[in-house]
Structures are given as structure tokens and as C-alpha cells.
Structure 1
Amino acid sequence: MRLRQEMPELSSATTWLNGRISKGTLIGADDPSLIHFWSVSCKTCKKAMPKIHKIRDHYADYLNVIAIHMPRSQQDMDVNLVKEKAREHHITEPILIDNDLTLSNAFGVKEVPAYFLFDKDGKLRHSQVGGNGLGMLTKRIQRVLTKR
């Protein structure tokens, strides 16, 4: 995705955990949104997850956080395994399971973890891939929050 591009539709998730969320619910709600892609088989995702939780909890009143599970193998498509790993890693935000890769393709995600920060109007303000550099993500969140 390119900067300032509009958030893709989120309705094509194959399964939803921890509640449903839609693009329409997020846009115009006065809060920016952080969408993070992860996979149960991704060691880097698991290592980065506590940092994402810290962001989620610190900005709970000002930032929507949504997780999208992107399978990297046939085993990753097991919804019960995703539920188990979500509990194990304390993922309490809405999780969209993308077993047909529709969301991954819409966002242009080729590898996980991947992070997308959208302003309150649904425009992309920052994206990055990988578990490092989450300090930069936090700075971008702070910048977007000051423009609320």
C-alpha cells in the first residue's frame, strides 16, 4: 500500500475472533487505527507481540488496534490453533482470520509481521514490515494522534 491510500475493506475475513469490526466502524470514529498482520508460525511475530500489546494498552482510549492472522502454511489455517495462540499471546483485540489471503492481498502483505497505521479518515499514514523498528511505529502513532 502507498501512503494516503484508503484502508481496504475488512469484511472478507474468513473467521472473526474477539468481536467483529468493519472499515465503516473505524473510519470517522475520531480514532486512528493500527492493523497488524501476524501468523501462528512466525517467531518474529511472537517476539514483537508484547510491544504491540504495550502500544494497544497505552493508547487504548485513542487508537483502534486490529489483528489480522495471515496463514503461512496449511497448518496455520487451523482456526483452533489460532485461537489457542491468541490466548497464549494475550491478543485481546479483534482478530480477523484471513485463510483465503483476501485481506493480505488487499494490503499487499507478503510477510509478517506487518503494520499499517491509518488516520481517523482511513488514510494510510505509515506501514512497515518486520519486528524491529517498533519505536518508529510508536512515533508515527503519536504524530497521527496529535492530528486527531
Structure 2
Amino acid sequence: MIPMRLRTPMPPMEGATKWLNEGGFQAKDLQGKPVLVHFWAVSCQICHEVMEEVVSYRKKYGSQRLQIVGVHMPKRAADIDVDKVKQDVAQYHIEHPVAIDNHHKIREAFQNEFVPAFYLFDQEGKLSFRAAGNKGFANLEPKIEQLLQ
């Protein structure tokens, strides 16, 4: 699978088997705002290691209109248990919308194969940065700050 190229428009956030924390969330609400799409899985150790910092971006950059959308992408059969995802959402105090992507529809639209993975879109809805793993995560916050300048 060829990774999504920079400046590619954000794919539709369609095909989730369930949404958590959606509170009336609709993908059209993301238009005109910078967006971080964060792919993760309950069985991913690195995902757990970086989750608190990812969650902190909501408060840290929310006043600058950064929107965060989580996508739980199961990597193992046990990952499709929505109750496990809900436990992680509660444990890490995740307040942003989280798509449960048990059929990998969103994963396919984003051409993503990894967790954790981070897709940062600018105010025009175009991909400005993508990364995966803890090494990629290390580069994420400077890219968010650069985008919000």
C-alpha cells in the first residue's frame, strides 16, 4: 500500500462500526480547522506510552482550533472488543471523538498500516504531516506548532 502523500485532501471519516465521545460530531465540523487524526489500538504498547501526551494536545492547542479525532484500528482479534476500547478511553481521559474501525474502512481510506499513526491536516484539509511509531511521534508536536503559527 502506498502511503498517503503530503497535500492529499483528508479522506472521509466514514465506515466506523461505532463512535465514542461523538457528542454530535460530524466530519464536516472539521472543515476549516487543523486536524490531527490519531490511529491506535488497545493491544499496542507504544500507543499507551504516548496516549497521555496525545490527549494533552486537546487542551494545549484547542484554543488554536486544533481538532483531534482518534481511530481505534484493531491489530489483533481481541482488539475488536469495544469494552476494552472504552476502558482505555476512560483510563486516559480521552474526550475527543474516537472511531471504532473494526472493518478497517477508515484505515483503508487513509492508506494506514500502523499504530500509532498520526495524520496532521491543515486548515484547508490537506495532509501536512504523517508519521508512525514512537520515532514519528517525537516529530509530531513541533509539526503541530509549525502548522498553528
Task: Tell me the residue number matched to 1:15.
Answer: 18
- In the alignment, is the contact (CA less than 8 A) between 1:4 and 1:123 conserved in 2? yes
> In 1, Cα distance between the equivalents of 2:68 and 2:58?
6
Superposition deviation, residue 22 in structure 1: 3.1
Return the structure number with greater helix share.
Answer: 2
Task: Tell me the residue number matched to 1:67.
Answer: 70
Superposition deviation, residue 106 in structure 1: 1.0
Superposition deviation, residue 92 in structure 1: 1.4
Task: Tell me the residue number matched to 1:97.
Answer: 100
Task: Tell me the residue number matched to 1:121.
Answer: 124
Partner residue of 2:30 out of 5, 10, 26: 26
Task: Tell me the residue number matched to 2:44.
Answer: 42
- In the alignment, is the contact (CA less than 8 A) between 2:34 and 2:67 conserved in 1? yes
CA RMSD of aligned residues (A): 1.3
- Residue range with higher mean Cα deviation, 71-80 or 40-49: 71-80
Cα deviation, 1:54-100, whole Å, max 9, x if unaligned, reads 22221022200110000011110011111112111221110000000
Q: Which runs of 5+ in 2 are unaligned?
A: none
- Residue range with higher mean Cα deviation, 16-25 or 87-96: 16-25
Other structure's SS at 1:45 match: helix
Other structure's SS at 2:88 match: helix
> In 1, Cα distance between the equivalents of 2:44 and 2:84?
13
TM-score, normalised with respect to structure 1: 0.91
> In 1, Cα distance between the equivalents of 2:148 and 2:78?
38
Q: How many residues get paired? A: 144
Does structure 1 residue 141 correspond to structure 2 residue 136? no
Q: Which runs of 5+ in 1 are unaligned?
A: none
Superposition deviation, residue 138 in structure 1: 1.2
